[in-house]
Amino acid sequence: MKHVVLSLGMLGALLSPVFAEDYTIPKEDPIFSISFPDKWSVTHEDESIDAVTADESIQLYAQTDDADTIENSVEEAIDYLTEAGVKIDEKSQKTNEGEVNGIKIQGMNWDGTDEDGPCRVSLSFMNVGAEEVITLLYWGSAEAEKTHSKELESIIASMKPVKADDSDADEADDEEEE
């Protein structure tokens, strides 16, 4: 029995994607973190993260946003997609809501096409604070989603808000006392 458990544990370790470091946005005073498999190409700017699978079949872009500019974010995301050669079918739009690791998510999904053919497009907004929102833009083919499903599930499971540490709270308390 001990060998079976050990073998299953080793098999699980081999099948699960290997992850690199957590990425936070913004880099200074982070409010959100996410992890990507080592094989993904990740560009980490101050307030955004651009990640692509090794085979370039799935692209994911996350950025900080102000809760007051969600409408602008939708327009910017569509412009970004257009520049990347992605065309969305506006009639296919579906909306959804959910929660991951305590983060409320509202999103829109479309069918579309890119240079490789049909694709799925998703634009989500995650409330990570009173006025802080993370915008997450994703696209890839249905086949790529199947190929990278374990990686995508792990990425989603890694998403979480970053809490201010106690030293920040202590500093704020000290300032109030003065």
pLDDT tens digits in sequence order for the chain, 178 residues long = 433 333 333 334 444 445 567 899 999 889 999 999 999 999 999 999 999 999 999 999 999 887 667 778 888 888 889 998 999 999 999 999 999 888 899 999 999 999 889 999 999 999 887 778 899 999 999 999 999 999 999 998 999 998 765 444 444 444 444 4
Residue 166 pLDDT: 44
132-140/103-114 β-pairing: unpaired
Superfamily of domain 19-162, CATH level 4? Mog1/PsbP, alpha/beta/alpha sandwich (3.40.1000.10)
User: Which residues does residue 66 pair with via DSSP β-bridges, in sequence order?
Assistant: 132
CA angle 117, 149, 102 (to 5 degrees): 115
Integer CA distances (angstroms), 158 to 28, 37, 163, in order? 20, 11, 15
- Radius of gyration of the chain from its Cα atoms, rounded to whole angstroms: 19
In angstroms, rounded to a whole number, what is the distance separating the alpha carbons of residues 142 and 4?
35
The reported pTM is: 0.77
